[in-house]
Chain A
Amino acid sequence: MPTASLLLYVGGRLAQAVPILFIIILINFALIHAAPGDPVDFLIGATEATPEYIESLRREFGLDQPLWVQLATYLSKIVQFDLGYSLRFREPVLSLILSRMPATLLLMGTALLFSSAVGILLGVIAARRPYSAGDYAATFVSLAGYSMPVFWLGQIMLIVFALHMAWFPTQGMYSLRAPSQGFGRILDVAHHLVLPAITYSFYHLALIYRLTRVKMQEVMALDFITTARAKGVAEGRVVYRHALRNAILPVVTVIGLNFGFMLAGSVLTETVFAWPGMGRLLYEAIGARDYPVLMGLFVVLSVMVICANVLTDVTYALIDPRVVYR
């Protein structure tokens, strides 16, 4: 596919995302004014503030002006990447959130790679022998996977493998006594990563497994598979080259479109294991009723979801030659 048309396509998709982003900012603005209480309290959070600070906030956000002027002020701040200031953390909201982002991405990335690889593999194996005992067992386990609260699974994993077996640390991302750089540091972080990543993978593993299995069964019944077999292509090649390539497209879409749910799962997992990412930040902000951080997280997480959606469409376009760009 020519690069120019791809760029145009990506640009178009991004442009479509602008109104959604506007709505998200509008939701924040509406909440500040619609929720019971003085709007200025929501700009501060439930922290003691000096009268001077409150006064300066009122002026900064133009709280004595008509509503539409306030909205314009609010919008122009966010467009300039000013998501407010957290009195509790004594830091601008955006830099606070960005400092927590790498930990979340590490957890999500690891878990997503693991669950996609294992889920697709198991799905293919199950689809080759449908309705066998193994297929039933795997189907039931996957059903269990998305029927349980992810944080409860985390709590149980923590009790069993970190407390009773003592195989893994109970919380955090690194230990204080471990080396602070180099290979030792990587090993230490990896050791802390195992339990949260497995917990978090379980739900997605279940989802990806189930989807791959269904799609593989559909594709394996199609004529071109029969043709491939008839002309003597080896069975392994038929399954992994011919069928899987076609079955994997919807799987990619579902992974991308579930990004919002994935972020939610990450937040809950991080809370269990005190993993220092955006989820942990959300938990702390809820506990302190730090409204600027909550609103900032909503904006940043929404932007991430929108980007994931665009990325999914582009990936889909790249793997599926049938998609035509306009």
Chain B
Amino acid sequence: MAITHTLAEPTWWRIFSRNRASVAGAVVLVALFALAIFAPVFLRFEPGRINVGPSMAPPGLIHLMGTDELGRDVFSRATAGLSVSLMVGFGAATISTFLGIVVGGLAGFFGRRTDALLMRLTEVFQVIPRFFLAVLLVAFFGASILNILVTIAVLSWPEIARLVRGEFLSLRSRQFVDAARVAGASRMSLIFVEILPNALGPVVVNATLMVGQAMLLEAGLSYLGLGDPTKASLGQMLQEAQQIMRSAWWTTAFPGLLIFLCVLSLNLVGDGLTDILNPRSRER
């Protein structure tokens, strides 16, 4: 570890930027976001439009990622699919993080029976095979993008809940919380002003990793035929490619590569954020 001459704690950006892989991850992530958001401005072909080129043309200057069997431009479709996948990933992770904070916070703050009850519920959710329950829910309620997003969110909160509960349990008896309590702070203000801000660090790291997990889960569901056909995600493209990938490898290689890059960069960013929180993981 480098010897620092100042006693001040290094700023979070300096810690983060010391982990070069995390910086690379952040750069790739921003680039992918830019691609998903700004693609409609410069795209030469409409994403879902058929016969904009020959059928199954290999990648080239006109069709950067080739075309599929219906003559759709793979690059255009992939950028649209990327925004759907990112939306599901971030949407599901946001909702489930919120659910996790509520459940974990209640359990950790109130303790006793509330804690026992909520933790029992969390355990049950952790034992039930999540992927297959997601399959059932989407198959029964219909494969729309909203159903998929909500399903993933509803099944992913237990980790966050356990994490938040742990943080709340250790924070609620610290001196600064006691001080606020003695000074007459309400329960609400204890939870939201005193405890929650101090528990957010690990939650943010976990949420980052959860975005990637949610994207993989969505891709898996779509691949099994439970994707939303009207809003093709990257996973949905991989499912469609299964039939023609033998003669057109580009129909599977590029959409999958985009998922891979998203999840990989999210995981790398998560690593960097862990460094900020945990001095021990910085040693290298």
Binding site for B on A (CB under 8 A): 19-20, 23-24, 27-28, 31, 34-36, 42, 131, 140, 143-144, 146-149, 151-152, 155-156, 158-159, 163, 170, 260-261, 263-264, 267-268, 271-272, 282-283, 286-287, 289, 291, 294-295, 297-298, 301-302, 305-306, 309
Contact = CB atoms under 8 A, between A and B. Distances in A.
Residue among A28, A148, A289, A298 with most chain B CB within 10 A? A148
Contact of A155 (B136, B225, B241): B241
A31 B141 CA distance: 9
Interface in B66-98: none
Interface string B250-261: 001100100110
Contact of B268 (A131, A143, A146, A260): A143
B246 A294 contact: no
23 contacts: A20-B124, A23-B124, A27-B128, A42-B140, A143-B264, A147-B260, A148-B260, A149-B259, A151-B238, A152-B256, A155-B252, A263-B131, A264-B129, A264-B131, A267-B224, A282-B135, A283-B224, A286-B135, A286-B224, A289-B139, A295-B136, A298-B129, A298-B133
Residue among B130, B136, B238 with most chain A CB within 10 A? B136
Contacts of B249: 159
B16 to A, nearest CB: 17
B126 to A, nearest CB: 9
A115 to B, nearest CB: 18
A271 B259 CA distance: 19
Contacts of A268: 220, 223-224
Interface string B228-266: 000000010010011001100100110010011001100
Given A144-B264, A309-B127, A291 B220 contact: no
Given A143-B264, A159-B252, 9 more contacts: A27-B133, A31-B136, A147-B260, A152-B252, A260-B127, A271-B224, A286-B224, A291-B139, A298-B135
Contacts of B212: 147
A35 B140 contact: yes
Contacts of B151: none
B5 interface: no
A298 B140 CA distance: 13
A282 B224 contact: yes
A151 B235 CA distance: 10
Given A131-B284, A298-B132, A156 B127 contact: no
Contacts of B127: 20, 260, 305-306, 309
A174 B176 CA distance: 67
Contacts of A305: 127-129
A271 B223 contact: yes
Contacts of B225: 283, 286-287
B267 A147 contact: yes
B17 to A, nearest CB: 18
Given A131-B284, A148-B256, A295-B136, A24 B223 contact: no
Residue among B140, B212, B225, B241 with most chain A CB within 10 A? B140
A152 B224 contact: no
Interface of B: 21, 124, 127-133, 135-137, 139-142, 212, 216, 219-220, 223-226, 235, 238, 241-242, 245-246, 249, 252-253, 256, 259-260, 263-264, 267-268, 284
A20 B226 CA distance: 26
B246 A163 contact: yes
Contacts of B235: 149
The 5 closest A-B pairs by CB, nearest first: A152-B256, A264-B131, A260-B129, A35-B140, A147-B264
A136 B171 CA distance: 36
Contacts of B260: 144, 147-149, 152
Nearest to B259: A149
B226 to A, nearest CB: 6
Contact of A294 (B139, B216, B238, B284): B139
A241 to B, nearest CB: 27
A238 B226 CA distance: 51
Contacts of A159: 245-246, 249, 252-253
A147 B131 CA distance: 17
Contacts of A23: 124, 128
B267 A143 contact: yes
A91 to B, nearest CB: 20
A22 to B, nearest CB: 10
Nearest to A17: B127
A170 to B, nearest CB: 8
A182 B106 CA distance: 61
Contacts of A286: 135, 139, 224-226
B140 A263 contact: no
Given A143-B264, A287-B225, A260 B131 contact: yes
Contacts of B128: 20, 23-24, 27, 260, 302, 305
A152 B129 contact: no
A155 B224 contact: no
B238 A155 contact: yes
Contacts of A282: 132, 135, 224
B92 to A, nearest CB: 16
A326 B216 CA distance: 40
Residue among A23, A36, A149 with most chain B CB within 10 A? A149
Nearest to B246: A163
A149 B141 contact: no
Given A20-B124, A149-B260, A260-B131, A36 B223 contact: no
